[in-house]
Structure 1
Amino acid sequence: MDTDEDVTVAEFERLELAASEEVTVELINGRVYVAPMADGEHSEFISQVDEQIRAYRPELRLFHSPGLTIPADRACRARPDGAIAPSGYFRTQPPWADPAGVAMLVEVTAGRESDADIDRTEKRDAYAQALMPAYLLVDRHRAASTIHWHPADGSYRNTATAVFGCGLRLPPPFDFELDTSVFR
């Protein structure tokens, strides 16, 4: 593969099939990103988001690391840490699912600080280009959570951030304050 050019979906799919189960492989805006499997703290943070979503919106579920076809400017095959969608949404979806029924994507930073920039910018921008309604980032490196919503013209129009310990108001259809003290 020529690293100076975008990776095609076909090239990515071959690479993903050959990848170790100990890594997650994603294609974001034509570039391949490889991340190690989540650690325990990462999993706990996802679980905390799931519990709070279910408490306020019991008809919604947090699906862990689904494969999504993200229709951004360039090829994307993402495995967000979580996708919030109605119960049963993924039941009939193929391995790389259509994200049309997803209300919010969730990422928790992992690995090195430099790896976190992928979640902060690359994925945020791809999700906005794909008109994903909301994107929640739990940033362990900065001890803060950020919600992005109202995508238009390739970016999110609204953003709110709360340091761990402060509440973070989530937009409709969630419309509740996420307790970030559980991430401390």
Structure 2
Amino acid sequence: MTAVHGDPILTSEEGPIRTTEFESIARAVDRETEGVQVELIGGRLGVKRVPDGDHGRILNWLLLLLMPLNPGLFLHVIGQGLAVGSYRKGRARPDGILAPPDAFAGAGEWASPDAVVMTVEVTSHDSDTNHRDRVEKPIAYARAGIPIYLLIDREAGKVVVHSQPDEDGYQDLHSYAFGRAVSLPEPVGVTFDTESLKDMGD
């Protein structure tokens, strides 16, 4: 199995790919392929490239920003996998997961999202980012009951806050241009400035 340029490598409707089969594929990719990670979102097997330096810089900025604002939560940026989607058949690796500091203690590679209050994705410069980050993941995260999905969209120069999840996706979306203050609803309940993203968004 070969992943090329971050494009999806296989698609399926509901299966033929079962989650157990996907997990075997994911282990093989982790073992044999450098520079990519695989995910199963909405029945579609896709890959995302290992992030560039600015991508990591944005996540570090957000981690340091959120820590003093809500000390009971921590932004995990270690590549923890989550079981997402309807019946939790999907497998995703969010760029960041806001959850209690010990939320994944003892968890396996694909943890339950029950303790997760927010997932974070930072768009990448690959051909699949539009479908993956803007279409598929909001639905998968909402169906898993994750209260907030935060998309930092570098190409569009904006931050999009998705909240009020249900089976159809997130019902409340607010978009903020880089430089504006962003408000995250409860259970996070903080407001922060995004002026710094103007220098990190390209």
> Which TM bucket (shorter chain)?
over 0.9
Alignment pair present for 1:177 and 2:191: yes
| Other-structure match for 1:28 | 41
Paired letter, 1:76: G
Query: Which string of whole-angstrom CA distances, capped at 9 and with x for unpartnered residues, describes residues 81-138 of structure 1?
Result: 0110011111121111111000100000002354233101100011111111100000
**Superposition map of 1:127-138 within 5 A:** 127-138=141-152
**Superposition map of 1:40-59 within 5 A:** 40-59=53-72
Give the RMSD, CA atoms, in angstroms.
Answer: 1.8
- Aligned partners of 2:57 and 2:175: how far apart in 1? 20
Which secondary structure state, in structure 2, belongs to the residue aligned with residue 121 of structure 1? helix
| Other-structure match for 1:94 | 108
Match of 1:62 among 59, 70, 75: 75
Of the structure 1 ranges 133-142 and 74-83, higher mean CA displacement relative to structure 2 is found in 74-83
- Does the 8 Å contact 1:125/1:155 carry over to 2? yes
Which secondary structure state, in structure 2, belongs to the residue aligned with residue 35 of structure 1? strand
Counting aligned pairs with the same residue, the percent is 36
Alignment pair present for 1:13 and 2:27: no
Which secondary structure state, in structure 2, belongs to the residue aligned with residue 92 of structure 1? coil
Alignment pair present for 1:125 and 2:139: yes
- Aligned partners of 2:90 and 2:69: how far apart in 1? 31
- Where structure 2 has 5 or more consecutive residues not aligned to the other structure, the ranges are 2-9
Match of 1:148 among 162, 168, 177: 162
- Aligned partners of 2:138 and 2:12: how far apart in 1? 22
- Does the 8 Å contact 2:148/2:164 carry over to 1? yes
- Aligned partners of 1:153 and 1:35: how far apart in 2? 25
TM-score normalised per structure 1:
0.92
Which secondary structure state, in structure 1, belongs to the residue aligned with residue 45 of structure 2? strand
Q: How many residues align?
A: 184
- Where structure 1 has 5 or more consecutive residues not aligned to the other structure, the ranges are none
